[in-house]
Amino acid sequence: MSELRDEIHAVARRYPARRSAVIPALRLAQERYGWLPPEAFREVAAALDLTPAYCKSVASFYDMFHLEPVGAHTVEICTNVSCALVGAQRTLEAFERELGIRAGETTRDGAVSLRTIECAGGCGWGPVVAVDHRYREPVRPEDVPAIVGELRRTTGGA
Ligand code: FES
């Protein structure tokens, strides 16, 4: 029995029905693989007596699940209305310039993935940027070179 399957079974025991554990199980699989490749869906499905298609349908609904490979670091910029009103687009463009990629892309060296997200729940402190899932707020265009510099120092690239 695989280690991932054991972890999923342990999580599933907290729920009255196995299928209710699908989101935490997908999270465990994503932690294992870094994203959700087909084998991750097969493993989650087998552990929870579901189909891979069902697991993928759940994952595809949620923004936090990656259906494609992502970089070693992720930069996510909220472009929803509150952040948009205080300059999220300019912050996004600053990241695009600094990283040399567009939103939805990963740097050629695989160091950083950049994407936009919907409301991150920090509307009063926008523009909100999540760097490796930790919020930075507010992030102005002039803050971007220092953030990218941090990422470059920890990956030797970007
Ligand atoms: S709109 Fe950006 S955090 Fe809510």
| Residue-by-residue DSSP string for 92-151 | HHHHHHHHT--TTEE-TTS-EEEEEES--S-GGGPSPEEETTEEE-S--GGGHHHHHHHH
| Domain containing residue 19 | 3-61
For 24-46, the pLDDT digits (tens) are 999 999 999 999 999 999 999 99
Q: Are residues 137 and 107 in the same domain?
A: yes
43 and 97: one domain? no
- CB of 119 closer than 6 angstroms to any ligand 1 atom: yes
Q: State how many domains the chain has.
A: 2
pLDDT tens sequence across 4-23? 999 999 999 999 999 999 99
Contact 123, 82 (CB under 8 A): yes
- On whether residue 67 sits in a domain, the answer given is no
Do both 30 and 81 map to the same domain?
Answer: no
pTM, 2 dp: 0.78
Whole-Å CA distances, 6 to 16, 51, 151: 18, 18, 34
Together in a domain, 57 and 83:
no
Q: Is 80 in the pocket of ligand 1 (CB under 6 A)?
A: yes
Q: Let me know if residue 88 belongs to a domain.
A: yes
> In angstroms, how far apart are the furthest CA atoms of the chain?
51
**85, 128, 129, 136, best to mutate for ligand 1 pocket (most atoms within 8 Å of CB):** 128
Q: How far apart are CA 98 and CA 48, in angstroms?
A: 43
Looking at the fold, whether 56 and 88 belong to one and the same domain comes out as no
% residues pLDDT > 70 (the chain) = 97
Q: State mean pLDDT over 86-96.
A: 98
Residue 125 in any domain: the answer is yes
Residue 66 lies in a domain: no
